[in-house]
Amino acid sequence: MPSSEVFLLLGYGKSNRALANLLKKRGIPHSVYDDYLPEKSSAVDLNPFTAIVKSGGIKNDHFLLEEARKLNKRIISDLELFYSWNKEKTLITVTGTNGKTTTVQLIKHLLPELDLAGNVGSPLFDHADSEKDMVIEASSFMLEYTHVFRSRINVFLNISPNHLDHHGSFAAYLEAKLKLLKNSRPEDFLVYNADDSVLEKALRGVGLRKIPFSRKRRGGIFISERGIDCFGKMIDLAGIKLMGKHNLENIAAALGAVLAYDPAFSAFSRLHAFTPLPHRLEYLGKIGSMLVYNDSKATNYRALGTALAAFSGKRVLLIAGGEKRAEDPAVLDGVLDTLVGVLLNGENGKTLQDYFKTKGVRTWIYRDLASLFKEINNHLNAQDVLLFSPGSASHDQFRNFEERGEFFKKNIGAYLTE
């Protein structure tokens, strides 16, 4: 670990807190700045610092970042710094718009000897003294400030517009994601969704060892009604606890990463012991004969569409809405046949109501989720499924999607009959 560096940690989120503890332990000079903590928001002279470690939540136009650019200071993410101190590790890095957390958890479940960190679970720097290889969930915020970062096994799940309030455009968001491959070498692996047209085009010229997964064509990992064909070995998924077609893609991606890491891997039966994560199409129980699911992790319209597609042929009462962002609900056009009604709330409630009305879907709108629950009993009739899948970020009412999901679970619990 270099001793000549002097770091400014910009933002005091979970990752930078772990880094600050490590730097203190190892006697490496550093300071912390956070707009929201009075004790850490005093004036800063950037001249003494050799690098700025930017938290994901810090906007790119933050005044300290603008000053750092003028002074030609190095701006990096936790991912970049962790890699610079751990180049000997084999990293499996997963990115994409949806499904990242489920996929990295699947990889960790199949390869329990590896560490898991990044955008899920523990911060990277909690593993600073570990000699284990690592599975990383990498967000666009982490990747956009990488420069020399290299992962030997790279997984791209899908790509669609997201976090445009941060990146400014879909092109910039895609560019940030693709930085995962900036320093790749021909011997590294690329596991990717060959059915994603944007992703397939963006990765066409990448010269890595490719492991595509697809529902449409063979030549890599093939997803069929029988199961998942991994280079001629059929993996039977009967009885697996993950539901929805999108989770078949997550499983295929995880299997591709595992086989890239260990070509001799054969413990595929471990898949059947995998328990789905909370707030991701989480089955909660029944209200009469109606099945109730918590999908609070659906923080964009495409994720909502994926959830609706999992209930094809069912009569679904949907609860949706949340923070307003620059997204087009038209991505839902092909999955509305399941809906018998939508209960809306939050900043984008009116936007979604206008959209659903044009599609002939009945809607009710409420100021917030708490208000909606005061009248929810009026809507619980003869539906097959009650689906809480906001399709929106949570920050208009909650700190994060986990808090929102727990709110839903607590309040719907009073109505569950089994």
Residue 344: other Cβ atoms inside 10 A: 24
Identify the architecture of domain 7-76 in CATH: 3-Layer(aba) Sandwich (3.40)
282-415: CATH, from 2.40.40.20, 2.130.10.10, 3.40.50.300, 3.90.190.20 = 3.90.190.20
Q: Using DSSP, how many helices (H) and how many strands (E) does the chain show?
A: 13, 19
Residue 351: per-residue pLDDT: 97
Tokens of 273: 């012991």
Q: Count the Cβ atoms, other than its own, within 10 Å of residue 286.
A: 14
N-terminal to C-terminal alpha carbon distance within the chain: 54
Query: What backbone torsions phi and psi does residue 286 show, to the nearest 5 degrees?
Result: -125, 150
pLDDT tens per residue, range 349-370: 999 999 999 999 999 999 999 9
> Could you state, in chain order, the average pLDDT of each consecutive group of 10 residues for the chain (418 residues)?
83 96 96 96 96 95 98 98 97 95 96 95 94 97 97 97 87 97 98 97 96 94 92 89 89 98 95 91 94 96 94 96 94 96 98 98 98 97 95 97 98 94
Domains 7-76 and 79-273 share a fold: no
For residues 197-209, one letter each, b for 16 or more C-beta atoms within 10 angstroms of the residue's C-beta and e for the rest, the string is eebbebbeeeebe
**What pLDDT score does 27 carry?**
95
Strands (E), 27-85: 30-33, 51-54, 74-76
Residue 6 vs residues 31, 50, 51, 349: alpha-carbon distances, Å: 8, 5, 7, 46
Tokens of 247: 């989770």
Spell out the residues 6+ positions from residue 43 whose beta carbon is closer than 8 angstroms to its own.
none
- CA dihedral sign of residues 159, 119, 327, 283: positive
pLDDT at 382: 82
| Every domain of the chain and the residues it spans | 7-76, 79-273, 282-415
User: What is the structure's pLDDT at 368?
Assistant: 98
∠194-196-201 over CA atoms, to 5°?
A: 80
Reference 265, options 256, 253, 252, 275; nearest CA is 256
Rounded distance between C-alpha atoms, residue 246 and residue 355, angstroms: 24
pTM beyond cutoff 0.75: yes
Query: How far is CA 53 from each of CA 41, 58, 107, 119, 247, rounded to the nearest angstrom?
Result: 16, 10, 28, 16, 34
3-state SS class at 67:
helix
Rounded to whole angstroms, what are the CA distances from 41 to 10, 24, 35, 63?
10, 19, 5, 12
Q: What is the pLDDT of residue 3?
A: 58
Tell me the β-bridge partners of 160.
none
Residue from 179, 103, 121, 125 nearest 147 by CA? 179
The CATH number that domain 79-273 falls under is 3.40.1190.10
Residue 67, exposed/middle/buried by CB under 10 A (0-12, 13-18, 19+)?
middle
- Can you list the positions of beta strands (E) in 323-393? 339-345, 363-366, 385-388
DSSP 8-state class, residue 212: E
Helix or strand run (H / E) with residue 409: helix 401-412
Helix (H, G, I), strand (E, B), or coil: what is residue 242? Answer: coil
